[in-house]
Amino acid sequence: MNRGEGEQLHAQRQRRFWLTLAALAGVGGLCGFIAGFVKGFADGGNKAVEPWLLQLGAAGVVIAALLAIYFSWRFFVSVDEVEVADNLWGSLIGFYVYAILLPTWWALDRLTVAPPPDHWLIYGLSMISALAVYAYRKWRMR
């Protein structure tokens, strides 16, 4: 059976969507592998990382950030409005978790009733909440 034009366009859009996600995952995985390899090599030899490797690592971080920005842009121009809305809701909730949790924890620290804020924990909770909202919206649409 021949597919209509709309179905073909949808299939092309889905293909671009998955290729973009695969590219983002590939870039992140490669950068993480290289960073872990260099750090593990230095730790295994019980020595400091060579300065040129630190500079290479810094350049890699900047390049990875630029590639993440580019592929994020490519992602958003290749998806439909429902995908964008799901991402925006997840991002909004993740931002609110961060925006509420950090100043609250900071104030409690200043009042000496809590330890200093753990920024990585707050970041992680923000990302987890954003992913949970995104997944819920995707699950609800099934």
Q: Among residues 79, 106, 122, which one ends one of the domains?
A: 79
Highest mean pLDDT among 17-21, 32-36, 122-126: 122-126
- CA angle, 141 then 85 then 83, to 5°: 65
CA distances to 60, 111, 128 from 1, in Å: 48, 69, 42
Are residues 101 and 67 both part of a single domain?
no
**Domains contained in the chain, number:** 2
25 pLDDT above the threshold of 70 = yes
Q: Are residues 74 and 113 in the same domain?
A: no
Q: Roughly how many angstroms between the first and final C-alpha of the chain, as a whole number? A: 25
pLDDT tens track for 99-119: 999 999 999 999 999 999 999
**Residues 88 and 52 reside in one and the same domain:** no
Domain containing 52 equals 1-79
- Are residue 89 and residue 59 in the same domain, yes or no? no
Clarify whether residues 17 and 87 are in a common domain.
no
Supply the pLDDT for residue 36.
80
Are 23 and 73 in the same domain?
Answer: yes
Its pTM stands at: 0.68
Kindly give, in sequence order, each residue whose CB lies less than 8 Å from that of residue 98, ignoring residues fewer than 6 positions away.
122, 123, 125, 126
pLDDT in tens, 62-96: 888 888 888 888 778 877 788 889 999 999 999 99
134 and 104 part of one domain: yes
